[in-house]
Structures are given as C-alpha cells and as structure tokens.
Amino acid sequence: MTGSKRSRGARALRAAGCGLFLFLCLLAADGACYLRWRAAAERRPPRRPFLKSVRHVPPETLRRLGWIDTESESSFVRFEEAKRPGVIRIGCLGDSFTYGAEAGPGEDYPSLLQKLFRERGYPQVEVLNFSSGWYGFQQVYILYDEVARRFSLDYVVLGPMAFFPGRDTTFNHASAVTPYFHHARRVLDGQGLRLLEVIGDDFARRAAAYLSFVPHWRYLRYDSRPPAFLACLLPRGRELRNPFYYQPDPEAEALTLYERLLTAMADGGSRIVLGHYLPAIVSVGERVRRDNFYATRLSQPEGFPYQAARSHNGPAGNLLLAEQYFALLTGKSGVRLPLMKFEPLAPGPAPKGPVPARGLDAYERISVGLDGGRPWRFVEVMQGNRVREVPGDYFRARGLDALILFRLPDRDLPQALFYPLAADLEEGMPLTVRPQRGPRAGTEVLLGKVSLLRPGLNVGVVDLKEVFGSERSGFDDEAAAAPARGPFRKAFPGDVYLGGRRILLASRPKGSDRVALRPPVGRFLQIYPPAALLGEGGRGIGGTLSLSLEPGSGRRLRVPLGRCRRVPGGFQDDFAPAEGLQPIRRPK
C-alpha cells in the first residue's frame, strides 16, 4: 500500500513537473513573440505631436482626449468663450466628418452651415466646430463636458458619425501596434458612469503602460482589446476580444453608454440635435426622453462627386449635410435640392485637329470642370485623411508632361487614380508588373495598355477592371488599395512598369488580400468639385466634365472625362416634426 502511494505521488510529481515545464516553454514562446511585437510597436513614430497647450482646453482635458485637431477655420479656438449679447451659438461636435477631413479650408460642414445662415438672413448665428479626426463618442463627450459647455451654446449638433463601439470601449482605438492614440473613457457603473484616466502623461509613458506584458488592472478589466500577452500571438489583421473584459457584450455596452451620455448632455440645458447616417444610433437617441433633445436620420449621397477619396464627405457632400442641419435648426420639415450624377461618355470618333503641345508641362494652367461652370480642382492624396490642393501650374512648375488615369472596377473616369509623370505616352503602351516571388518572379505580367484620350496628347487611361475587384477598394494613406482578381493574385507584390519605366510599387500587406499601389515619386491626384456644386437652384446643372489645358496663347484645349446629368426628383430628405425644439428665427 505504501509503495502504491509512493508510485502515485511520483507520477503526480512527474506530471506537475511536465506541466510546469510546458507552461514555462509556452511562457518563453509568448515572451519571445511579445518582444518582437513590442519592438515593432515602438518602431512606429507618432504621427501627431503630444499636445501640451491648446487654447480653451485645460491640460487635464488634453490628457483625457489624447489629441485634438484645431486647424479648421471654424474651430472653437478662434472664438472667445464669452458670447456677445444677442448671439445664438451652435456647437458642432463629432469626428473627422464634422472636422472636415478630406475637404479644403472652409469646406467642413460647420463652415458651410455658418455661410448658409449668413447668406439667408441670420446674422446673429455663430457656428463653432468642436471636433477632431478619429474621435469616438467618448472623446466627443469629454470635449463637450469640459470645454464646449463653457461657450454658452444654445444648440449642440451631433453627427453625422462619431458613434463607434470599437472606439468607445477601449483606451486605444488605433491598431494594437500603434500605441499613440490613448484617451480616457467612461465605463458603466451601476446606473451611472465612471471616468477612467489614461496611465502616463506623454507618448512614451502611455505606450509603456498600455503595451506592458501584463497590463495594469484598469486596462486588463476595462479595455475590450486583448492584453499584450495575447495580442502578440495574433496574426496581423486578426482581432480577439479581451476575455477579461468586464462586460460580456461590448457593443451592447457602447449603446448603453451612448444613451446615458446623450441624456447627460440633454440635462445640461442646451438644445441637442442628433442627426446621424446610421439608423441604430438614431434609435439610441430616440430613447432619450427630453424635450430639448431631437434625433433623426440624415441622408448621405454616395459616390462621385459627393464622397471624397476615403469615403468622407467631399465639399459637395458637406454642403448637402449643412443644408440638412440648417433645415433641422430652422424648423423646416425637409430638404429639396437638385442632385447630379455622372455617366461615362458614349464612344465616338477621335477628335480632329492638332493639339498645341504634346507634353502637359507646355501649358500655362491645367484644371478640370463642367463646361461653362465654376472650375473644379485637383488635390493630392496625403497621409491620414489630408488632401492638398494642386495649383493650376502644377504640371508646368514640376516638369510633368503626362497624366495617366488608372481606372478601377465600377468607377468612371472622374473617379480614376490620376498620376502625373515625366514621360511621354504612346497608344498601346504596356503596363506590367514584375512579381518579387513565386514561379513568375522577375518576369513581366501584363496588367493593361494605355489608351490615349486624345491622339498626340500625353493623357491616357489604363483600365484595370480585369486586374482588381471593386470590393473594399480605396485609399490607405498615399497608396490606393484593391483586391487582386484570380489570375493576378500571384503577380503581387512587385514593381509596376509603364513602357519599361518603373512608376509604382505594388505591395501586399501581410494578412491582407488587397494590393497597395504606391507612387515612389509624387502622389496620386483626385478631382474635387467646389462646395457650391449645384449652383443657385441647380441652374446650369448638366454637361461635360472636361480636363482643360490652357496654352500661353491660343485656344483652350478640352479633354472630356464624363457627362453630368440632373437626377429626376433631386435630393429629398423629410424630417419628423421636432416637437419641443424651438427653431432659430430670422431677426425682425
């Protein structure tokens, strides 16, 4: 009996020893993965400075927000806190849609809303922009509660986005290996809310605390992202919910948070208008039972020319949004506006007659626009959500004598990737890729051929609809990303050549089926319409969108890109009556 007990004890000790050894091996492997993961995270420099001083924003509020954008012409930092007698103040709160990402100066919707009030006889109205790119509603509420309330706002406008459960249930809603976007957040606490601060007062300390192998209890318990010792094991692009999170359903938690935060805003005394593109968020707003709170769904025209490169509103889309908020704030029951749509040009004979010059750098100005209408503009697609306007002499000043248009599936020429080059184009010139790996590494794979828009002129199109799919295509910083179709999937990554000249880098991010096309020199261009695209009452809508080339002397050359027509019925959006929400009236 004694021997049997000793035998069982020995087996138990051996099993425990094996278990401990296995655990230590797993811990060592996890630690090695963590060290590589942590090193990759720390190699990524912050894109934003760690702000220490912003007008009207206390230092402790800046630490809670993490960052703030204030360069917009309508930003609250350009106003005094004290309101002048007789002024009606409107505060617009939100994320990049409110801030005006991908639009130019004065083309964010708060600036355009201010312009509508002034042009239509409401000189007593001031519109202030309290927003920043990449905010979730947690940050929106912090900015409202600790800054905007001091500006004596008569109306608070929320939307059209900024409610994202993935952003509002974490302290860092950037990728796990981009540890520079930390912000405080509120959590559910019984029937109330509790504010939890971020650990650390600068980028380095915040990153060290958040990326710790075993994080602080605050992050382990109240951050829906997995802790570092689990996140480091995940393949790139994969997500895992934190198994230690205090709520079983983070999305349901976020909706409850929204309802409580919106109720707290309404109890602050200002009239609140929640206009949103998503019905689920409007439904949350409708549960806020306050006389000074109104929620409704807004309409978002999609596609060109209303959406920008990364699906924010472009200038024309922001004007339509401003029109909807103007109607809500002035008590109108709906919006009726003309709407335009672009169609490809019907095939026709090649234009006749010589062109003034083949190279585009020979022309004084190059622009784009509707025949007889206000000029449109080219913009460079920059990092993040920024665009930069291109002057009319862009091609001449930089010695760029060609423009190649890469047309992706389901997109007309005005939505193409415009890429300027210092090279001549020829009809039928091949666009090829040289794969970097696989059985075809180093060989040439034909992607398409150049079709000149006008003979003798360095403006051509390469149709890539057979190479790429339309699903999830778009911009990723300065690169254009799209999924490769079947036979072309093994052709990437590689270098892309036009007539033997390397013009693009084609990478394939690990864990993604998309191919990112990035210019090694310069940037892709997009064309943007002016905000007042529709004109007064839509007069003059319709016609041909053309590339316009102006020589120093002589006749202007036009190269058609598409045709615009007026949509029957136009843009219509009806609102339910805003009972209890006193509308803004014109002064007598």
- Tell me the pLDDT tens digit for each residue of 137-167: 999 999 999 999 999 999 999 999 999 999 9
Q: How far is it, in rounded angstroms, from Cα 167 to Cα 135?
A: 8
Query: Looking at 230, 246, 262, which one is the last position of a domain?
Result: 246
Q: What is the pLDDT of residue 371?
A: 77
- State the average pLDDT for the chain: 88
Q: What is the pLDDT of residues 14-53, one digit of tens each?
A: 666 676 666 567 767 767 787 777 777 766 767 677 778 9
Instruction: Using the predicted structure, report yes or no on whether residue 372 has a pLDDT greater than 60.
Output: yes
pLDDT at 15: 65
SS3 content of the chain, % helix, strand, coil (to 5): 30, 25, 45
Residue with tokens 């509308």: 583
How far from 387 is each of 303, 377, 510, CA to CA, in Å? 18, 12, 27
> Does 403 fall in a domain?
yes
Q: Which of 264-268, 290-294, 532-536 has the lowest mean pLDDT?
A: 532-536
Q: Which amino acid is at 523?
A: R
**Is 5 a domain residue?**
no
Q: What is the pLDDT of residues 451-477, one digit of tens each?
A: 999 999 999 999 999 999 887 778 877
345 domain-assigned? no
**pLDDT score, position 351:** 78
544: pLDDT strictly greater than 80 = yes
- Dihedral pair phi/psi, residue 195, rounded to 5°: -85, 130
Query: 562-572 burial, b for 16+ CB within 10 Å, e for fewer?
Result: bbbeeeeeebe
Determine, yes or no, domain membership for 3.
no
For 90, residues 6+ apart whose C-beta sits below 8 A from its C-beta are 113, 125, 126, 127, 128, 153, 154, 155, 156, 157, 329
Same domain, residue pair 159 and 177: no
The pLDDT score that the predictor gives to residue 302 is 83
Task: Please state, for a pLDDT cut of 90, what percent of the chain lies above it.
Answer: 58
How far apart CA 184 and CA 139 sit, in angstroms, is 8
> How much is the pLDDT for 173?
84
Is 257 in the same domain as 236?
no
Same domain assignment for residues 503 and 435: yes
Over 90: is that where the pLDDT of 261 sits?
A: yes
The tens digit of pLDDT for each residue in 204-255 reads 888 889 888 989 999 999 999 999 888 888 776 677 899 999 999 999 999 9
SS3 call for 329: helix
Q: Are 448 and 413 in the same domain?
A: yes
Q: Which of 246, 261, 295 is the last residue of a domain?
A: 246
- Measured CA to CA, the distance from residue 313 to residue 322 in angstroms comes to 11
In the predicted structure, residue 282 carries a pLDDT above the cut 60: yes
Residues 391, 490, single domain; the answer is: yes
**Beta-strand pair 417-421/402-407:** antiparallel
Among 36-40, 199-203, 430-434, 584-588, top mean pLDDT goes to 430-434
Looking at the fold, whether 74 and 149 belong to one and the same domain comes out as yes
Q: Is the pLDDT of residue 176 over 60?
A: no
User: Which structural domain, as residue segments, surrounds residue 554?
Assistant: 360-566
- Of 246, 274, 308, the last residue of a domain is 246
Same-domain check for residues 365 and 465: yes
Residue 17's pLDDT is 66
Q: Is 80 exceeded by the pLDDT of residue 113?
A: yes
Q: Is residue 419 part of a domain?
A: yes
In a domain, 378, yes or no: yes
For residue 208, the tally of other CB atoms under 10 A from its CB is 14
Residues 197 and 67 in one domain: no
Q: Is residue 384 domain-shared with residue 467, that is, in the same domain?
A: yes
Supply the CATH number for residue 108's domain: 3.40.50.1110
Could you give the percent of the chain with pLDDT greater than 70?
92
Question: Does residue 349 lie within any of the structural domains?
Answer: no
User: How many domains, the chain?
Assistant: 3
Residues 384 and 369 in one domain: yes
Q: Which amino acid is at 398?
A: R
What is the 8-class DSSP label of residue 134?
T
Q: Global pTM?
A: 0.91
- Same domain, yes or no: 392 and 511: yes
Higher pLDDT, 234 or 535: 234
- pLDDT value at position 222? 97
Residue 280 lies in a domain: yes
Same domain, 315 and 271: yes
pLDDT for res 106: 92
